[in-house]
Structures are given as C-alpha cells and as structure tokens.
Amino acid sequence: MRKNDRETRFVSASLLLSLLIFSVPWPADAGRQTTEDANAISMEDKGPVVYFNYGSETIQETPISSFLYFIPLVAMTAVERQAGAGCGQRVRMIACTRQKTQTSFFTTCEFEIAGDGYHRDIFDPEDMIAFYKEEIKAGQTLAHMLDYIHFEGQGYVRMEISGITGGSAETVTQVDVWFNGRGRKSPVTIGLYDVRPVEGKYRYENRSNQMVVRVNRLTFKRTEGQPTMGVRVATLGRSAEEEGLWPTVKGMIANLLIRPPRINPLGNETMLRFGATIHLQKPSFTLPKAEMIQNDRQKISSGALVGQESVCRLDNGN
C-alpha cells in the first residue's frame, strides 16, 4: 500500500473520536447555569484566576497556564502540567464587543498571547491505557491515544459567546474558542499515538504511529445530556513542523469525519460560566479546582519533551 493511501486511511471516523473521550455521570442540575451565578465557587474548590480588561487603562495579564486550566477540567485521567523555555507566556484581553437583541446576545472578545515559552498538558499514559483497554478486544491495537495538548508561540485567541435572553435572565448557550485569530497559525497541537500489545501487555514504551493535530477551534455547548466538545482541525502530520498541502488536506477530511468527543461536565460548565463572566464584563473569573492534576506523581513523560531544558512552577489553584 502506498504511503498516501495509508495516511488517508488514518483520517477515519475514529480519528479524533478518541480525543478527550471521558465518560462521566451528568449531574441533573448541570447545564442550567445563568449569567447570574457565573462564578459561584466555594473557597476550598478554587483554582487559578483569569483577568479581563474592558477598555481600562490598567492592563491585567494572566499566565498561559491559568488561561488553559480548562484542559485538566475536561479530563478524567491524570494530567501533568508543564511549562518551560522561558515560562514567559502571558494572556491579556485587548478587545471585547457585545451585541444584543430582545431574544439573544452575542459577545466577541480577543486575547493576545505574548512572551516566550510553552505550556503542555500531558495525559498519563498508564491511566489512558487502562481507561481505553476495557473498550477493545484482547490483542487489538489501542489507536489514536491522547498523549498531550501543547501550546507554544505567540498569537491571538478569539472567543465568541452566544446566548439567549428571557425576561431579565441571560443564559450562555455556546462558547467558541478560536486559536487562529487574525489568520495566524494556531499555536495549539495535540499528540496522538497507537499502542499494540507486546506479550499481551500494553506499554507506552511500545507506542507507534505518532501523529500531531493542529487545532483551530474548540466549541462548548449547553446541553441537557452528556456534553461534548466540538473540534476543528487545521492540519494533520507526523510532527508539529510538518506543513503544506497534504497535512492541510488531511485536516479538511478530518473535519468532515470528526464526531464531537464527550467531556467532563465540570469542564463544559466552566467554559459556559467563563463566557458568561465576559458577557457581564466582570473583571475576573476564578476557575474551579481540577482534581485530575497529578504533577506530584512520578510518571513516564512524553517522548516529545525529551531535551527541554527548563520546567516552571505552575499555578494550579489551592
């Protein structure tokens, strides 16, 4: 089989079905939060704070690790958070506009990412393998396992917040996060790998078929059932540096086949509340504490991190 044929088959209906597929119970009262309780979190459950600016002369900045804290909030396997190579990435809101009718509203804001460094959330391979191994037959390959989500480089993030108005109440129904603001290349990539059993055991050391997905957009929607996360892909390649026509074509094909993966309701609700806070033009948003952060556990690191010289301390909340 020719190389292009093999890679075309890789872009299948299951390509990103495995991305962030975390099956958890759905609380009966979740998904019905309004803008009135956009940031209702108890003291012991608080995570980091994200700051906003609405034309104020005093510019508040947020570390990239706090801005991306929603990643471990959607996870149901252990996550290790790392940052390095300068650790200087900061986020600040530079524009925000609101439109409103009698029945709906639409708020758009833009964030600038500045500074050097990278941020990476690594999904514990032992937990990932144990989680997905129960879903396949004995001897089958674990395909498209989530390795990491990586943010590196400067750029602009655009957030679009949609909602409905009923009387005096306003409810956010959808939040879209675009990482390719102003037409720039998205700084967000996702690593995937396969694991086949060797002597009947699945080990991260035996991974193969490693691929890198560059992501343009994530979408979070209010729902009465199990929440899912929309994913829009820019490119698919064997590395983050691979660019050109073929990775772009594979990304286009993937967008036609992707089924939105299930996510943790807490992460989905957090993003809707995040959007409500911006729509109400509140100065900051405190994220809930993510219980799956496991920086204190000595686990095998992603091979892609080998060679990094510095790792920084992250603000992971209380």
pTM of the model: 0.80
More confident residue, 104 or 166: 104
Render pLDDT for 119-141 as a digit per residue (tens, 0 to 9): 999 999 999 899 888 878 889 99
Tokens 């514990």 identify what position? Answer: 124
Render pLDDT for 210-233 as a digit per residue (tens, 0 to 9): 999 999 999 999 999 989 989 999
Tokens 């694991």 identify what position? Answer: 195
Render pLDDT for 17-47 as a digit per residue (tens, 0 to 9): 344 333 333 333 333 444 545 555 555 678 9
Render pLDDT for 287-306 as a digit per residue (tens, 0 to 9): 999 988 986 433 333 333 33
Q: How many CA atoms lie within 13 A of 308 on its CB side?
A: 19
Gap between the Cα atoms of 277 and 107, Å rounded: 11
Residue 312 confidence (pLDDT): 57
Measured at the CA of 149, the angle between CA 157 and CA 303, to 5 degrees, comes to 145
Tell me, what amino acid is at 173? Answer: T
